[in-house]
């Protein structure tokens, strides 16, 4: 295998890692804090992608001269829309299903079907795409045999920025201290005056917003359809469980490991064999490490 092919395969894995990491970070903080199995998380990603599509349409029709700047606005809008939707969803729906994991899973799965039909009704069954801004058109070619799309480099940078911002929120602010306290010991956190219900609502909204950012990034890789989210939801759950539900660093490392494994195995085997091999590896690891490969120590 040549060096150029190896670099391209590694970067393909890095591109998959960015979407998996953005999706899994939102799911990890919700799953780790509240134990909520949100089967509609993929549809929140699709909601962020469609928000990006609508933002591009608005810029194209109302301010075509500013099309070069629509993507940063779209990322912010995708986060805001899914954040607001997640906050409303938690206040009106999810909070009544706490400590009922099976009911939560079934209810959110039904919600995902409703959202998929809503997307079909609003945007049609066909997939839609967004234009790339001029500054993301083309590729970076460090050598004659290596061509890295600028749009994928942008997504890598976006993932790094989001990861750093989330780390700063959780470990550098009072609100992050509350989230970590509730994650480690909910009863004691409530006893010292932390409003655990409010922490749950805002944390669920942040997780939903991160899924929206993942959807916005996804539009740079492929077109968006009503069932786009379902293509990643299973892989996202595997990433979270494999890394450890309370460990954000574990989520990043797990997403990177699984993405690279999938990229290389698909290159050497078929797509279905790659999926089966990854699942077998995850099962073996969880047999010896049921809490995940990078699980954090928490009080229960």
Domain contains 294: no
Q: What's residue 76's pLDDT? A: 95
The domain in which residue 21 lies consists of 8-129+148-229
Is there a domain that residue 237 lies in? no
pLDDT at residue 294 above 50? Answer: yes
- Judge whether 3 lies within some domain: no
Lowest mean pLDDT among 197-211, 237-251, 286-300: 286-300
Give domain status of residue 239, yes or no.
Answer: no
Which of 38, 19, 80 is closest to 200 using CA atoms?
A: 38
Classify residue 53 as exposed, middle or buried by CB count within 10 Å of its CB (0-12, 13-18, 19+).
buried
DSSP secondary structure code for residue 125 in this structure: S
**Is residue 42 included in any domain, yes or no?**
yes
First CA to last CA across the chain, in angstroms?
49
The number of folded domains in the chain is 1
Q: Residue 293 — φ and ψ, nearest 5°?
A: -70, -35
pLDDT in tens, 110-153: 999 999 999 999 998 889 988 888 888 888 887 777 788 888 88
* pLDDT for residue 300: 47
pLDDT digit string, tens, across residues 55-76: 999 999 988 888 888 999 999 9
Using a 10 angstrom Cβ sphere, with 0-12 exposed, 13-18 middle and 19 or more buried, the burial of residue 300 is: exposed
Q: Which pLDDT belongs to residue 245?
A: 65
| pLDDT for the residue 85 | 95
Q: Please check whether residue 60 lies inside any domain of the structure.
A: yes
* pLDDT for residue 297 is more than 60: no
**pLDDT tens digits, one per residue of 15-28:** 888 888 888 888 88
Q: Which stretches of 269-299 are DSSP H helices?
A: 271-288
pTM (two decimals)? 0.87
Q: 255-292: per-residue pLDDT in tens?
A: 888 888 888 888 787 777 888 888 888 888 888 887 77
Instruction: Flag whether 51 is in a domain.
Output: yes
Let me know if residue 255 belongs to a domain.
no
164 is written with which tokens? 């750093």
Average pLDDT of the chain? 85
Q: In the numeric block, which tokens belong to residue 207?
A: 């997780």
Cα separation of 298 and 295, whole Å?
Answer: 9
- The pLDDT of residue 295 is 63
Helix (H, G, I), strand (E, B) or coil at 128: strand
Q: What does the alpha-carbon distance between residue 244 and residue 256 come to, in Å, rounded to a whole number?
A: 14
Averaged pLDDT, 20-39: 81
């Amino acid at each position: 295998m040549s060096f150029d092919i190896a670099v391209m395969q590694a970067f393909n894995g890095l591109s998959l890692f960015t979407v998996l990491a953005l999706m899994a970070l939102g799911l990890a903080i919700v799953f780790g804090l509240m134990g909520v199995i949100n089967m509609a998380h993929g549809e929140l990603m699709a909601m962020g992608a469609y928000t990006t599509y609508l933002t591009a349409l608005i810029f194209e029709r109302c301010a075509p001269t500013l099309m070069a700047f629509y993507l940063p606005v779209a990322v912010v809008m995708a986060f805001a829309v899914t954040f607001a939707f997640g906050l409303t969803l938690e206040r009106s729906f999810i909070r009544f299903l706490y400590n009922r994991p099976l009911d939560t899973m079934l209810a959110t799965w039904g919600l995902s079907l409703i959202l998929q039909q809503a997307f079909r009704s609003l945007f049609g069954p066909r997939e839609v795409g967004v234009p790339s801004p001029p500054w993301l058109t083309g590729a970076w070619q460090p050598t004659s045999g290596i061509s890295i799309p600028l749009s994928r480099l942008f997504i890598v940078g976006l993932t790094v920025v989001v990861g750093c911002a989330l780390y700063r929120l959780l470990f550098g602010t009072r609100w992050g201290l509350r989230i970590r306290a509730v994650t480690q010991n909910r009863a004691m956190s409530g006893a010292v005056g932390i409003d655990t219900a409010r922490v749950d609502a805002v944390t669920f909204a942040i997780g939903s917003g991160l899924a929206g950012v993942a959807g916005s990034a996804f539009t740079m890789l492929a077109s968006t359809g009503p069932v786009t989210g379902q293509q990643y939801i299973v892989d996202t759950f595997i990433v979270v469980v494999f890394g450890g539900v309370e460990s954000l660093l574990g989520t990043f490392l797990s997403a990177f490991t699984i993405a690279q494994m999938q990229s290389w195995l698909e290159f050497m085997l078929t797509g279905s064999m790659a999926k089966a091999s990854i699942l077998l590896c995850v099962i073996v690891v969880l047999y010896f490490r049921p809490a995940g490969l990078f699980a954090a120590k928490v009080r229960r």
